[in-house]
């Protein structure tokens, strides 16, 4: 489920008195945290499968486009290097 669908479903449940607004908020927060955790694992898996030239290209593009800074890129590259020894 995407974010909009989760919010829509929770709103319907609140409107039909199946859950309270407080319960809706707690459910959404738990769903969001779980989605972030899963996303991080997927990203890490993709990074680990890249060869060195590709990881360098991706990190350069991320820095150039302002998505991460040089320090973050350095940390990611160091983590990648450590995993490939």
Distance CA 33, CA 37 (A): 6
The answer to whether the CB of 45 falls within 8 A of the CB of 38 is: no
Q: What residue ranges do the domains of the chain occupy?
A: 1-49, 51-85
pLDDT at 1 over 90: no
pTM of the model: 0.63
Tell me the pLDDT tens digit for each residue of 9-43: 999 999 999 999 999 999 999 999 999 999 989 99
72 falls in which pLDDT band (50, 70, 90)? very high
Q: Which residue, chain included where needed, has tokens 């940390």?
A: 75
Residues 6+ apart with CB under 8 A from 67: none
**Residue 67 parent element (H or E):** none
């Amino acid at each position: 489920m995407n974010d909009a669908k989760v919010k829509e479903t929770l709103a319907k449940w609140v409107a039909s008195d199946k859950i309270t607004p407080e319960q809706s908020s707690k459910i959404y927060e738990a769903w969001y945290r779980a989605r972030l955790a899963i996303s991080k694992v997927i990203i890490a898996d993709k990074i680990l499968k890249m060869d060195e030239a590709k990881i360098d290209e991706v990190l350069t593009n991320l820095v150039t486009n302002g998505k991460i800074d040089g320090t973050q890129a350095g940390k990611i590259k160091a983590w990648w290097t450590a995993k490939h020894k």
